């Protein structure tokens, strides 16, 4: 892999940018691998990367039915934060957030991590109490957050209307080191680093079946032929139930459509991320100047990546109340992604009923921020066969044991 | 936007009048059942990429629960049927079979 650097940029500038190679090769799958990851989203690619980097496992393939990062990783609104309530969540999300701080250097790829600060507005008394509690929990977890009064919210977000007719802003949970990152770059950066370690990233290669013998995985069937492996990671977000079905088990997952939209680009006017969970809307401004807007999920099971218009309307109605200036903006694009929802709104990192098959799913509406930490924990799980400290709480048996990691009560919207 | 017909009151309306209620026809487990069965009842879902039999409530209408058969891929609604039926009626099954013969949507 040729390293990207100021020197490389200067050299290429002098010779007309003719020397940049492909960031990762277009691999044809080999007959067998030590480990196969299904799904080249952020979580699958990060899993492969840390398998190689932390555990020395490099005979690895990542199989992707479409194009790399074309799932939720390329469809999300890129919020990065770690102000969760439960200790297990704080541990893995803060691990991820702290890895984001140096990810561009680690991957030698600019992921444009922008810790611009993040606010979660408290717009009911219930939320005020909830966020105060979260701030206390975060202090004990070593995650730096603070509950701030309305006057401070006004300083951070001059465009906000504090005295909304229905939901006045009563304060906010502030995480100064939260922010955003470039979603595609995260996928591309991990892919390039994986390819540099000799791993195969195979796009346009859908897994259509899973081979199991005597309760253990022996390989996968794909649209590019069968491939053997004894270690298989299913990291396919909204398609997790489909892949689990191929291996003969069910998951506590439902697939729903989550939509987002962006406005026409405007001059810089919002330099933090603002989430308003009571009214189900959140907003940040991209480097291009677009307002990036998201809301809650649609209500019914859906694999179509097409959501319902009334959810877009609800989100915008709520946000224009808090940001009246938005009402004059034209919206440019809208899209949907299929998110994998669990009952407790926490992810699953786990062994499965089939030996050698591991799942990493259930990140639902909020897994972009977790990509580095999730890959780290999943790689440990796949390399050793057992969950390490980051993953231990997130195993599948928590549902049987009633050991929920309840973030759905902690936050209405969880992006 | 989905259009659904409530079999209880006969009204056809778009989805904002209804509330989705998740997978239908799950068998209730009670005291005395195994932990596996109880866990599966509470949490495991078929979550198919294809025909989903599901519960809906006519929340902003007559208030009644009912069932629907719908493709999660094309969002086509094959039909709705009353809450007290344990499986879709033959006409809906026939509509699903007809679509399956013609392509992906019926899977
Ligand atoms: C609109 C929207 C906004 C969001 N906003 C945020 C946010 O602000 N912050 C945040 O932290 N999170 C957010 N999320 C959630 C976040 O996007 C996801 O949790 C995360 O991207 C999941 O990554 P992944 O790698 O698990 O899945 P994906 O990126 O979806 O990757 C899974 C891959 O598996 C592939 N696949 C599926 N089936 C097969 C098969 N049979 N064979 C081979 N490959 C297969 C798919 O093609 C896909 O590329 C948002 C999601 C959406 C949809
Ligand atoms: Zn009715």
pLDDT tens-place string over residues A329-379:
999 999 999 999 999 999 999 999 999 999 999 999 999 999 999 999 999
Residues of chain A with CATH 3.30.9.10: 116-177+254-342
Tokens of residue A40, six digits: 């080249």
Q: What is the pTM of this model?
A: 0.96
Interface probe with B: pick from A206, A301, A306, A404, most Cβ of B within 10 Å: A301
Binding site membership of A341 for ligand 1 (Cβ less than 6 Å): no
The residue assigned the tokens 């009563």 is A170
Which residues of chain B have a CB within 8 Å of the CB of A254? 22-23, 45, 47
In angstroms, the separation between the Cα of residue A340 and the nearest Cα of chain B is 10
Dihedral of CA atoms A153, A155, A161, A164 in degrees, nearest 10, equals 30
Q: Does B104 touch chain A (CB under 8 A)?
A: no
- Of A285, A365, A407, A413, the one to substitute when testing ligand 1's pocket (max ligand atoms within 8 A of C-beta) is A365
Q: Is the pLDDT of residue A37 over 60?
A: yes
pLDDT for A288-341, tens place per residue? 999 999 988 989 999 999 999 999 999 999 899 899 999 999 999 999 999 999
What is the C-alpha end-to-end distance of chain A, expressed in Å? Answer: 34
Binding site membership of A84 for ligand 1 (Cβ less than 6 Å): no
Percent of chain A beyond pLDDT 90?
91
In contact, A235 and A49? CB cutoff 8 Å: no
Q: B47: burial class by Cβ within 10 Å (0-12, 13-18, 19+)?
A: buried
Ligand 1 geometric centre to CA of A182 (Å): 14
Residues of chain A with CATH 3.50.50.60: 27-79+85-94+183-252+344-401
* Percentages (nearest 5) of helix, strand, coil residues in chain B: 25, 30, 45
pLDDT for A56-101, tens place per residue? 999 999 999 999 999 999 999 999 999 999 999 999 999 999 999 9
Tokens of residue A98, six digits: 């702290």
Q: What is the mean pLDDT of residues A180-193?
A: 98
B47–A343: do the CB atoms touch at under 8 Å?
no
Q: Delimit the domains of chain B by residue range.
A: 3-101
Q: Does B34 touch chain A (CB under 8 A)?
A: no
Q: Is the pLDDT of residue B106 over 50?
A: no
B44–A252: do the CB atoms touch at under 8 Å?
yes
Tokens of residue A239, six digits: 């398609």
Left, alpha or beta for A142 (phi > 0: left; psi -120 to 50: alpha)?
left
Taking the CA of residue A81 as reference, the ligand 1 atom at the shortest distance is 11
Helix (H) or strand (E) holding A96: helix A87-101
Instruction: Please tell me the CATH superfamily of domain A116-177+254-342, with its number.
Output: D-Amino Acid Oxidase, subunit A, domain 2 (3.30.9.10)
CA angle B48, B52, B58 (to 5 degrees): 140
Cβ partners under 8 Å of residue A344, min gap 6: A398, A404, A405, A406, A407, A408
Q: What is the mean pLDDT of residues A123-152?
A: 96
Cβ partners under 8 Å of residue A132, min gap 6: A147
The pLDDT score that the predictor gives to residue A378 is 98
A308–B36: do the CB atoms touch at under 8 Å?
no
Which residues of chain B have a CB within 8 Å of the CB of A309? 1
Task: Identify the contact set of chain A against chain B, taking CB-CB distances under 8 A.
Answer: 239, 241-242, 245, 250-255, 299-304, 306, 308-310, 343, 399-400
Candidates 1.10.10.10, 3.40.50.970, 3.50.50.60, 3.40.1160.10; correct CATH number of A27-79+85-94+183-252+344-401? 3.50.50.60
The pLDDT score that the predictor gives to residue A415 is 59
Q: Is the CA virtual torsion B16, B17, B23, B28 positive or negative?
A: positive
ipTM of the complex in this document: 0.94
Which residue of A252, A299, A400 is in closest CB contact with B45? A252
A304–B19: do the CB atoms touch at under 8 Å?
no
- Of A44, A49, A69, A72, the one to substitute when testing ligand 1's pocket (max ligand atoms within 8 A of C-beta) is A72
Domain boundaries B3-101, corresponding CATH code = 3.30.2270.10
A241–B49: do the CB atoms touch at under 8 Å?
yes
The residue assigned the tokens 């062994």 is A351
């Amino acid at each position: 892999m040729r390293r990207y650097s100021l020197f490389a940029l200067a050299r290429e500038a002098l010779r007309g940018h003719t020397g940049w190679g492909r960031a990762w090769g277009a691999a044809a799958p080999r007959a067998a691998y030590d480990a196969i990851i299904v799904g080249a989203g952020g979580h699958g690619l990060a899993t492969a990367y840390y398998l190689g980097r932390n555990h020395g496992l490099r005979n690895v393939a990542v199989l992707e039915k479409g194009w790399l990062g074309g799932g939720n990783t390329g469809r999300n609104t890129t919020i990065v934060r770690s102000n969760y309530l439960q200790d297990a969540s704080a541990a893995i999300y803060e691990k991820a957030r702290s890895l984001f701080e140096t990810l561009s250097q680690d991957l030698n790829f600019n992921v444009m991590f922008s810790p611009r600060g993040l606010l979660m507005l408290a717009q009911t008394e219930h939320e005020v109490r909830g966020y105060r509690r979260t701030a206390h929990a975060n202090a004990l977890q070593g995650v730096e957050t603070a509950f701030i009064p309305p006057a401070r919210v006004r300083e951070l977000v001059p465009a906000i209307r504090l005295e909304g007719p229905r939901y006045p802003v009563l304060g906010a949970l502030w995480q100064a080191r939260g922010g955003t990152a470039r979603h595609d770059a995260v996928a591309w950066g991990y892919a390039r680093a994986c390819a540099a370690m000799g791993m195969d990233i195979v796009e346009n290669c859908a897994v259509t079946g899973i081979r199991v013998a005597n309760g253990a995985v022996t390989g996968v069937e794909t649209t590019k032929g069968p491939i053997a492996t004894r270690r298989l990671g299913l990291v396919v977000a909204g398609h997790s139930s489909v892949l689990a079905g191929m291996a003969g088990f069910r998951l506590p997952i439902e697939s729903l459509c989550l939509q987002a939209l962006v406005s026409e680009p405007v001059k810089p006017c919002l330099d933090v991320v603002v989430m308003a969970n009571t009214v189900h809307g959140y907003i940040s401004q991209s480097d291009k100047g677009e307002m990036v807007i998201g809301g809650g999920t649609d209500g019914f099971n859906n694999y179509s990546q097409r959501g319902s218009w009334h959810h877009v309307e609800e989100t915008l109605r709520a946000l224009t109340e808090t940001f009246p200036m938005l009402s004059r903006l034209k919206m440019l694009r809208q899209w949907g992604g299929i998110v994998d929802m669990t009952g407790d709104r926490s992810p699953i990192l786990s062994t499965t009923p089939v030996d050698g098959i591991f799942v990493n799913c259930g990140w639902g509406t909020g897994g972009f921020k977790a990509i580095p930490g999730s890959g780290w924990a999943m790689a440990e799980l796949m390399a050793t066969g057992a969950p390490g400290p980051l993953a231990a709480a997130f195993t599948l048996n928590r549902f049987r044991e009633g050991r929920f990691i309840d973030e759905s009560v902690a936050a209405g919207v969880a992006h | 936007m989905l259009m659904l017909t409530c079999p209880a009151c006969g009204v056809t309306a778009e989805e904002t009048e209804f509330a989705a209620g998740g997978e239908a026809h799950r068998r209730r487990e009670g005291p005395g059942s195994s932990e596996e069965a109880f866990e599966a009842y509470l949490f495991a879902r078929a979550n198919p990429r294809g025909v989903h039999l599901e519960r809906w409530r006519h929340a902003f209408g007559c208030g009644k629960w009912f069932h629907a058969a719908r493709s999660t891929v094309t969002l086509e609604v094959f039909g709705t049927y009353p809450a007290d039926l344990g499986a879709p009626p033959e006409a809906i099954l026939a509509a699903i079979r007809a679509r399956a013969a013609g392509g992906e949507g019926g899977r």
